[in-house]
Structure 1
Amino acid sequence: EEERFHFWMRQFGKCIKCYGCRNICPACFCPTCTLEDGALVKPGGMPPEIPIFHLIKAYHMADRCIDCGLCEEACTMGIPVRRLYRKVKKSIKNLFGYVPGEKVDERGPLEFLGDGSYELPGAGK
């Protein structure tokens, strides 16, 4: 597990926070993006040592990612984010029996606000 942790820390350390993975993603549709919340990720700055940016993104993709691979294609630093999203998505399937995109009308198990959003009021401001 320590080796896996160090692998991901090296990968996340390459991130220049260009938002390419987020901007190209067909599953990212929140009106205000938590990834732009200055309290979590400093605007214009590099991602913090603890990989907050990528962990927030992975959480948001857990019950949305349809595994199209565009995030990885868009990553100029070659970070295998798709691999991370697959692992998180597998946990969602095992825990909740949910597969993103499998049933059009089925809501994701992490959609906790009830209005189709994942964002807390004021997120991104």
Structure 2
Amino acid sequence: MPPGSEQDSMQAVFDYIEQQFTRRPGEVGRLFHGRGRCFSGFEDVVIDRLPPLIVIRLFNQIPAEQLDNLVAFLQNIRFTSHPHCWCSTAIAVKTAFRCAGRRMMRMSDGWQ
């Protein structure tokens, strides 16, 4: 893919989150805030770590594949970076916009 593509942007987000994730393992903190407009296509995404939970907040709809890739990455990093700390972590996705007239929240422990 050419530079600046969606795949490059997603990898840049993954690299940034991994850096934040390993900075202070096990502590409450913001892993990602897209509003800084540093990551194209992720302007409406915020990810917080609230052990034992990782919360992804969406302030606008993003493509399902993008969200699934993000969740899969977080599922993988929580086990590979600090398996002793993160084996019971769940990932929650919360929308701050309305879907078909209602808010939605999707929680996962394994994203099945």
**TM-score, scaled to structure 2:** 0.29
Which is greater in Rg?
1
Indicate the structure whose relative CO is greater, using CA pairs within 8 Å and at least 6 residues apart.
Answer: 1
Structure 1 length as normaliser, TM-score?
A: 0.27
Which is richer in strand?
2
